[in-house]
Amino acid sequence: MGKDVIIACDFAGAQQTFDFLDRFTDKKPFVKIGMELFYAEGPEIVREIKRRGHKIFLDLKLHDIPNTVEKAMRVLSGLDVDICNLHAGGTIRMMQAALRGLTREDGTRPLLIAVTQLTSTDQESMEQDLLIEKPLDEVVMHYAENAKKAGLDGVVCSPLEAGKVHARCGENFLTVTPGIRFADSEAGDQKRITTPAQARTNGSDYIVVGRPVTAAADPVAAYQRCIEEFIG
Ligand code: C5P
């Protein structure tokens, strides 16, 4: 798969999502479906968006005992999405089980990527709440290496970390990066951000863009701008 822009469809329900997607009459964008929409609408929303011709990153961030994750991934593999994810914190064994579950009888499977440490976790909360006392950067890289050892395809990370992840885990190990803002747009609650153009320079494979597109006056134009800056 080549570089692409993934729109985070952080909408509360199906109608709002379809109203948004209906605007894209030309190229059907790659979309991310997260927990809010999936829990509200169930797997049918995934099937319907697939029927409409979109590629899908199903962002459900699984984290449980290996056996449970394997069985859950087996169910998700039937939805025919393009990318699934889980928490690397569930251990290498859990990630290996997830890969087994996701792999269909014919050997095909969606890409599987790992969340390392959430961007909402900072050094202080990691030390105090999780009793992890190493530097956050090192923990992120270690989790990325664990994901690679388990056979996963890549990680979700900040675009600022994409170069370092590639240096440690190889150029083919995918970096999927949220935290994208145009030079002239609001950062909102995101802290460690780059523009689509900077993400390209840093070597991101996929950028995940939410509000700069979903809340734009002209979402199709904002999406086009992402494509032009990130892919050219
Ligand atoms: O609206 P915005 O561009 O900030 O949306 C970014 C999307 O990426 C959201 O769906 C958010 O949950 C997700 N995300 C993130 N940071 C992470 C992991 C996921 O912003 N570390």
Of 50, 55, 61, 149, the active-site residue reads 61
Written as six digits, the tokens of 47 are: 């099937």
Phi, psi of 64 (to 5 degrees): -160, -170
pLDDT of amino acid 190: 73
Q: Say whether pTM exceeds 0.85.
A: yes
pLDDT confidence band for 1 (50 / 70 / 90):
low
Ligand 1 atom showing the smallest separation from residue 10 Cα: 10
| Protein residue with its CA nearest to atom 21 in ligand 1 | 119
Ligand 1 atom showing the smallest separation from residue 214 Cα: 1
Ligand 1 atom showing the smallest separation from residue 34 Cα: 10
Domain 4-230: CATH architecture, name and number where available: Alpha-Beta Barrel (3.20)
- In the residue annotation, 27 being an active-site residue is answered as no
Q: Which residues of 213-224 are buried (b: 16+ CB within 10 A; e: fewer)?
A: bbebeebeebbe
> How far is it, in rounded angstroms, from Cα 117 to Cα 4?
23
Site to probe by mutation for ligand 1, drawn from 208, 211, 223 as the one with most ligand atoms within 8 Å of Cβ, is 208
121-164 tens-digit pLDDT: 899 999 999 999 999 999 999 999 999 999 999 999 999 999 99
40-61 tens-digit pLDDT: 999 999 999 999 999 999 999 9
| Protein residue with its CA nearest to atom 16 in ligand 1 | 178
156 Cα–ligand 1 center, Å: 10
Ligand 1, residues at Cβ distance < 6 Å: 8, 10, 34, 118-119, 156, 178-180, 190, 208-212
Residue 167 neighbours by CB under 8 Å, 6+ apart: none
Phi, psi of 141 (to 5 degrees): -65, -40
| Protein residue with its CA nearest to atom 2 in ligand 1 | 210
170-195 tens-digit pLDDT: 999 999 999 999 999 877 777 778 99
